[in-house]
Structure formats: C-alpha cells, structure tokens
Amino acid sequence: MTAPNHLAGGVIFTGLFCSFFSVNIFASPLFITATIIGSLLPDIDHTKSWIGKSVFPLAKWLSRNYGHRTITHSIFFLLGVYLLSIFVEKNFREDFSVSTILLFAILSHLIFDMVTVAGIPLFYPFYKNPCVLPANPDMRIRSGNIRQEGIILFIFCFLSFFMFDLFQNGFWSTINNNFNDVKHQIKEYKKSPYALKINYDYNIYQNHYKGTGELIQATENELFILDDGKILTLKKDEQGLKVSVLKTTKTKNKIFENTIEINNLRESEINKLLQNKFIAAGTIYTNFGTALKDNPLEIKKKFQFENKYNINFVSHVQDTLSADKEKKIQEIELKLKNEENQLINDNKNYYLDLALLQQEKNKLKENLSNYELNETKKNIIELEKKVENYKPKTNLMIAVYNNQLDKIKKSHLGNINYSGTITFIKISPIDR
C-alpha cells in the first residue's frame, strides 16, 4: 500500500481505536504528528519511502541488512516502539496518549500491508512466512495499482469526513450523547478524565430548563449542573422529566477534590468561605445551635453535607431577636445617654477651666509685651492650681449600663464558632 493510503488509513484507524481510550488524535500538534509518523514508520526500511528519505542512512542500513517488509513490519517492532514510547512518556508526560497513538498507528500500517497480495512476515524473524488478510489473494490489494489505491484513498477520505466528531468526542462519549439521557451522562462523568460542559434542554412537568453549564458532580442516580451560579439537579427516572437535549463536551479543565479543616470560624468567615462553592461532602459542628438560611427554623449543632452548593449559615438568636430584647436595649441606651449628659453637666466648670488654661498657654506663643506676658503667666498658675485641686465627678451608672448592654449583645450574637471538615469540588485548568 502506498504512503498516501497508509497516511489516510492510519488517521482513520488510529482515530477510531484511540477514541475508545478518550484520546483525540487532533487534540494537539504532538498527537497528529505521532499519528503521521506511526502510520508511516514501518516503511523506514525502504530508502524510497517518505519516511525512509527523511532518515536515509538508517533506511539504507535496514534495507541492506534486512530488506523491505521484514523486521520493521513485525509484531516485535510494534511492541518495541510501544514500550520505548511508554518509557519516554513515563518520564516526561503525565499520561500515555502518545504511546497509545503510536501503537494503533503502527498497527494500522501492518494491517493494511497484510491486505496486500504480498502480505508481511508478522512474526519475523521467528516465522518468516507472510501473514495475509484475507486468505484469497484475489480479494487482496496489489500495491501500486492506481485504480485500487485510488478507490481506497477515496473511501478513507470519505470516512474521515463523517468520523471527525467521533475522533473529537471519543467513542464512548459519542455513544452516551446519542442516548441523550441522564443515565448515560452519569456514565460519561464517571469515566471522563476532564471536566465536562453540558448542553441541556428539558422539562419537569411544566417547568422548562435550557442552557449550558458545567457538570460539576454525578452520583449513581443524579446529575448536578452548575449554571450561572445556580445548581440544577437531574435524577434518573425522575417523574415528569422529559429530555430534549442532554449532551456533554470535554474541556481543557479537570475536576479536583479539595479537603480542608475548619477551626473556630465566625459566622461571617465561614459564610465567605462557603460562598459559591460546591461541597461534595462535609461535617460542621457549632458550639451553639444555629441554622441554614434556607431552613432557619431547624436549629442544630451538627450539620452534614453532601452535594450542596452555596451554603449559608444564620444565627438563630440573631434572626429571631424578640421585641422585648430590642426594647430593653433601647431603654438601657437611653439611660446611658442621660447619665453621660448629666456627667458632662456636673463637670462643666472643670472642663471650662481646662479650656481657659489651654487658651492662656496658647497666648505664650504670641508676641506679648512684658506686662501681658506676666499677666498671662499669673493666670496660668492660678488656673493650674484650680484644675489640680478640682476633683471631677464620676458616674458609676455609666459603667453599669455599658456592662448590661454588652451582656445583652453578646447573648444576641451568641458567639457561635464553626469547626469541621469540608471537601470541595474544584474545576481547574491543566496542562495537556
């Protein structure tokens, strides 16, 4: 088989079988390069082949010592290249996508050469007889036959046009999307190594939901879709559910789980921490009974979460403060204000003398005559003695009222602390 057909057929064959492993050969220049090289690599033993010309000294040595369609067209060459690529990827990459591509690309070359009249010695050098597909030579291809090669090239190009979506989305993803239901999208989430975007259009009785969001979580029976800061849930066999569209696409992101410990956080702190976050699992304890914003009447000291979004706590005593307490606070604040005003009035002479003393001291900074300077100094001395001998009045009730207010406000706020463990689901970009 000629190089163009090896290349076109290699793309079809490699793309198809790699799709079973969720590897898209068109995802990156590296992947398509590996596909091209792998599809042509066995012909490295031929000096006039495309790849042989690019590494002519090696091609010449192989051709002279082994000949064409021998060692490089064997199963052992395939395994050798595959194992070498695994070793390289293990040390330089996080996955084995290139190894998978090379395996199927080289295998495509061997299979396509097996359908020619000459066949290939697949188990060379242990078994040198050619292996062929099929056994009838009249049903095999003659290499270099322009008519046969042209027909095959047309078939390959035709198939590639219809199989591009399969290559891009993967075999199993394509199958799951074609079923267009919750069950298969749960399967897709479970097997996908990457985060998924989901396009949805469905009805639950008279309620219609349509949009595109992130498939943030999937359990055995339920999908969780994050769209515009809201969580939508879809259950298998949910009553009243009618799905029009439910299709996923892979992203360049990955879903991670991040577990953190919470120790003695105040309400404002934990609400800020949990804002716009999806909690896969978690347990939170409080020292006083509190509640969730969406269910303020259920007061608890222990909260367990599973697949919840945007949790918000509210202090029960804070949100249900009685009118009596409000009235009591107002009464004490009024008494406190009166006592403070009375104290100021009782000490007005003292504060007046302090103001006069400061006024006289400021005069010293001015250009005064000797007479004015002496008078000012005399006034300062008199005012200082007066202030020194003056004993300002105090009011113990001010401290009493402040203490009462502090106690009421503290009981109002409750001094609630939050502790526990939370596991978040986080979507982050990854290097590919």
- Indicate if 155 and 190 belong to the same structural domain: no
* pTM greater than the 0.85 cutoff: no
Q: Do the domain assignments include residue 285?
A: yes
Q: Do the domain assignments include residue 96?
A: yes
Q: Do the domain assignments include residue 188?
A: yes
The predicted pLDDT at position 321 comes to 47
The predicted pLDDT at position 384 comes to 85
Q: Do 166 and 15 contact (CB within 8 A), yes or no?
A: yes
Q: How far apart are CA 94 and CA 105, in angstroms?
A: 21
The predicted pLDDT at position 32 comes to 92
- Indicate if 186 and 137 belong to the same structural domain: no
Output the CA angle 325-326-332, nearest 5 degrees: 85
- Indicate if 25 and 134 belong to the same structural domain: yes
At residue 35, what is the residue type? T
- Indicate if 148 and 286 belong to the same structural domain: no
The predicted pLDDT at position 212 comes to 94
Cα within 13 Å of Cα(14), Cβ side: 33
Q: Do the domain assignments include residue 331?
A: no
Q: How far apart are CA 401 and CA 350, in angstroms?
A: 24
The predicted pLDDT at position 432 comes to 45
Tokens (6 digits) for 338: 């009166």
Tokens (6 digits) for 15: 């793309």
If DSSP codes are grouped into helix, strand and coil, which group holds residue 116?
strand
- Indicate if 97 and 20 belong to the same structural domain: yes
Cα within 13 Å of Cα(333), Cβ side: 9
The predicted pLDDT at position 282 comes to 95
The predicted pLDDT at position 431 comes to 54
- Indicate if 135 and 49 belong to the same structural domain: yes
The predicted pLDDT at position 274 comes to 93
Domain boundary among 196, 220, 251: 251
Q: Do the domain assignments include residue 408?
A: no
256 membership: H or E segment, kind and range? strand 253-265
The predicted pLDDT at position 300 comes to 87
Domain boundary among 169, 192, 227: 169
Helices (H), 283-369: 316-319, 323-346, 348-363
Tokens (6 digits) for 260: 């953190």
- Indicate if 140 and 223 belong to the same structural domain: no
Phi, psi dihedrals of residue 266, rounded to the nearest 5°: -75, 170
Looking at the structure of the chain, the number of domains it has is 3
Can you spell out the DSSP letters for 161-175?
HHHHHHHHH-HHHHH
Q: Do 55 and 41 contact (CB within 8 A), yes or no?
A: no
- Indicate if 164 and 281 belong to the same structural domain: no
Can you spell out the DSSP letters for 93-108?
-SS-HHHHHHHHHHHH
The predicted pLDDT at position 319 comes to 43
- Indicate if 33 and 163 belong to the same structural domain: yes
- Indicate if 207 and 247 belong to the same structural domain: yes
- Of 298, 320, 258, 283, the residue nearest 418 (C-alpha): 283
Q: Do the domain assignments include residue 264?
A: yes
Can you spell out the DSSP letters for 222-251?
EEEEEETTEEEEEETT-TTEEEEEEEEEE-
User: What domain range includes position 37?
Assistant: 3-169
- Indicate if 209 and 265 belong to the same structural domain: no
The predicted pLDDT at position 67 comes to 85
Domain boundary among 169, 199, 225: 169
From residue 319, alpha-carbon distances to 292, 313, 390, 422 in Å are: 11, 11, 49, 25
- Of 262, 97, 259, 241, the residue nearest 183 (C-alpha): 241
Q: Do the domain assignments include residue 182?
A: yes
Q: Do the domain assignments include residue 103?
A: yes
- Indicate if 114 and 201 belong to the same structural domain: no
* Maximum Cα interatomic distance, the chain, rounded to a whole number of Å: 137
Tokens (6 digits) for 129: 């007889």
- Torsion angle (degrees, nearest 10) of CA 361, 365, 371, 372: -60
Q: Is the peptide bond before 134 cis (omega within 30 degrees of 0)?
A: yes
The predicted pLDDT at position 410 comes to 64
Consecutive 10-residue averages of pLDDT for the chain (432 residues): 85 89 86 93 88 87 87 93 92 85 94 89 88 83 81 83 76 79 90 88 93 92 91 90 90 89 92 92 89 86 92 68 70 89 83 85 84 86 83 80 79 73 86 50
